[in-house]
Chains A and B, each alone.
Chain A
Amino acid sequence: MSESAILEVNNLYHTYMEKTPLEYKALAGINLQVKKGECVAVIGHTGSGKSTLIQHFNGLMRPQRGEVLVDGQNLSDPKLDVKALRRKVGLVFQNPEDQIFEKLIGDDIAYGPLKMGLPLKEVRDRVKWAMELVGLSFEELKDRVTYALSGGQKRKVALAGVLALKPEILVLDEPTAGLDPFSRQELLDRIALLNKQEKMTVIFVSHNMEEVAYLAQRIYVLADGKNLIDGTPREIFGNTEILRRHHIAAPQTVEILAHLKQRGYSVDLKAFERESAAKEIVSILQPFRR
């Protein structure tokens, strides 16, 4: 294991329904390394293996072949302490609000810490901490019923439930799918805060390239259960050719720039931020400055 990697995946394979006519290779030799404190996005076309991969990170799935190391622990180890692992790695599924089952918001978030056997005082502190982190007022909302919340608020409650376990690594599957633009931005800002302020390592899967461009420091691109490329957002989104070949969208700004480039305009595809994309377009319309 390399010095600073908190999570490492080496040559990981997973086949669903092996040795049946329905055999399906979801992962076919994946490699990935995430350093402590990084914010990493995993992207790829529908069915590329993203969700299968991240379900390995907290031991929900065990490696069929290859290995997954979390903070030096090998997840293939039969003596693996799964409880400890799941405290270290908090996994937030797609539509986590479907898993809210307590009547009151505070109780739902407290469920995990209570199961850990923490003293009540500590549980209360953690619930408060987690709620404030995701932008829910503890005093105002802890005794509110969960079913009368909007989709965005439910998502925050579910996220707080995972955060209350104080994971070192936060893994999110499509964190903002189904949220309105405002709630989406709010949640993204919260995740960015967790990463920067709480030094939480964040790994997230997303289809939304605007969101990936906004959050990720580094991106892994998967295709057919294998690594395609990895790098910074500028490196990845600048490489529109390979993305297109594997049916992965770039942010819309890059798509527009790529179209212009195809028509012979000299634009820099790395300019994915809206402001810089606008400046690129402004500059190609100015005959004398070029």
Chain B
Amino acid sequence: MIEPLIKVNDLSFEYKLNNKTSIPVLKGVSFDIFPGEYVAIVGHNGSGKSTLSKHLNGILKPSSGDVLVSGSNTKELQMLREIRQKVGMVFQHPDNQIVATIVEDDVAFGLENIEIPAATMKDRIDYALEAVGMSEFRQRPPHHLSGGQKQRVAIAGIIAMKPDCLVLDEATSMLDTYGRRDILNVVRELNDDGMTIVSVTHHMSEVAEASRVIVIEQGQIVMDGSPREIFQQYERMQQLKLDIPVASRLARLIHEYDEEFQSDLIRNNEIIQEVVRLSAKRGVFVG
């Protein structure tokens, strides 16, 4: 049997305001993430999804319950270093995780910490900057880069360390569509090469790329399934203050006028394939 890479077991977490009051954020969450999975975690602002993702490499510790990474408990202090090497995390605001004054030094920072030999280091930096499309900026100071460019540098810093699992906590929310697509392509390639991906996001077209979606509401898992299953439940998603991809909306609209048009499509290219399929079937003249 395959062991889960990350095991979340009855995880609860509360923020303590003072001795008397605490705000419960997560309430008994359990799930497993297996090697090679691509999991999207969605939920509206304040649902607890960011808090959840910060438990995956021990940035936050459970108030009760456990999080295990390859069997190591995030509560065990001496395991943290190993856990964080396995599970790398990229956040929403790159400013908070860029440390060096030159782009390539920033990417090197994490590598130096884990004592990568200098010879390998250059290759790793080349690979990481190339992967995020920032090679030509390697000598530039990060603070003069735009928000999207900084985020790409931050992602390069993590993937240079080649973790088993990459956690993206709304990491593309400050990027433009092309920037996001670049990152998504990088993430897809990393996943194809076997890296486990956990992506916390509000972009439903991004969710459509995942193999599995976990929906969080008020600190609990309310849905867990494939993107296609989840996005068929439009009304439920709206109740949860969430959306479905533009492609899904479009498919539903077209289906209303044309019953033969599949209504359960979730990606742009599926819409195009469906148009091609139907026009061939109906013998509609093209071109």
Distance (Å) between the CB of B260 and the closest chain A CB? 8
Shortest distance from the beta carbon of A155 to any chain B beta carbon, whole Å: 9
Cβ proximity bits B244-259 to A, threshold 8 Å, 1 near / 0 not: 0111011001100110
- Minimum CB–CB distance from A236 to chain B (whole Å) comes to 14
Residues from chain B with Cβ under 8 Å of A265 in the complex = 275, 279, 286
Nearest CB on B from A257, distance (A)? 10
On whether A17 and B144 interact (CB within 8 A), knowing A180-B44, A207-B175, the answer reads: yes
A83 at the interface (CB under 8 A from B): no
**CB proximity of B257 to chain A, nearest CB, Å:** 4
Query: Which of A239-290 touch B at CB < 8 Å?
Result: 247-249, 251-253, 255-256, 259-260, 263-265, 274-275, 277-279, 281-282, 284-287
B225 near A: Cβ within 8 Å? no
Q: By the criterion CB–CB under 8 Å, are A282 and B258 in contact?
A: yes
| Contact in complex: B179, A46 (CB < 8 Å) | yes
Q: Which of A24, A148, A207, A256 is within 8 Å of B177, CB to CB? A: A207
Q: Is the CB of B268 within 8 A of A259?
A: yes
B92 interface contact, C-beta 8 A: yes
Binary contact track B71-93/A, C-beta < 8 Å → 1, others 0: 00000000000000000000011
Give bound CA distance, A222 to B254, whole Å: 34
Which A residues are in CB contact (< 8 Å) with B175? 46, 207
| A/B pair count, beta carbons within 8 Å | 146
Question: In the assembled complex, how far is the CB of residue B108 from the closest CB belonging to chain A, in whole angstroms?
Answer: 19
Minimum Cβ distance to chain A for residue B117 (Å): 30
In angstroms, Cα B246 to Cα A267, docked, is: 18
Of B23, B93, B242, the residue contacting A181 (CB under 8 A) is B242
Is B185 an interface residue, CB under 8 A from the partner? no
Given contacts A285-B282, A287-B283, A287-B284, contact A275 B243 (CB under 8 A): no
| Cβ-defined contact, B45 with A24, below 8 A | no
Contact across chains for B202 and A180 when beta carbons are under 8 A apart = yes
Please, how many angstroms separate the alpha-carbon atoms of A282 and B252 in the complex? 12
- Size class of the contact patch on chain B: 35 or more
Contact code string A16-34 (vs B, CB < 8 Å = 1, else 0): 1100001010000000000
- A62 within 8 A of partner (CB): no
B92, B178, B181: which contacts A178 (Cβ < 8 A)?
B92
In the complex, A16→B176 CA distance in Å? 22
Closest residue of chain A to B253, judged by CB? Answer: A278
Rounded to whole Å, the gap between the CB of B62 and the closest CB of chain A is: 21
Leading 8 A-B pairs by shortest Cβ distance: A264-B287, A150-B46, A249-B177, A182-B241, A181-B243, A207-B176, A46-B148, A278-B253
Residue of B nearest to A250 (CB): B177
Known: A182-B44, A284-B275. Is A274-B146 also a contact (CB below 8 A)?
Answer: no
Q: Does B262 contact A (CB under 8 A)?
A: no
The answer to the question of B149 belonging to the interface, with a C-beta cut-off of 8 Å to chain A, is yes
Interface status of A152 (Cβ within 8 A of chain B): yes
Q: In residues 164-200 of chain A, which contact B (Cβ within 8 Å)? A: 174, 177-184
| B148, B246, B268: residue with the most chain A Cβ atoms closer than 10 Å | B246
Taking CB atoms, residues of chain B closer than 8 Å to A259 are 268-269, 272
On whether the beta carbons of A284 and B284 are closer than 8 Å, the reply is: yes
Shortest B147–chain A CB gap in Å is 6
| Contact flag A260-B272 (CB < 8 Å), given A51-B146, A181-B202 | yes
Provide a sorted-by-A list of 23 A–B residue pairs whose CB atoms are within 8 angstroms. Answer: A16-B144, A46-B175, A51-B146, A152-B45, A153-B46, A179-B45, A183-B45, A183-B241, A184-B202, A248-B176, A253-B246, A253-B250, A256-B247, A256-B268, A256-B271, A263-B276, A265-B275, A274-B250, A275-B253, A281-B275, A285-B261, A287-B282, A287-B285
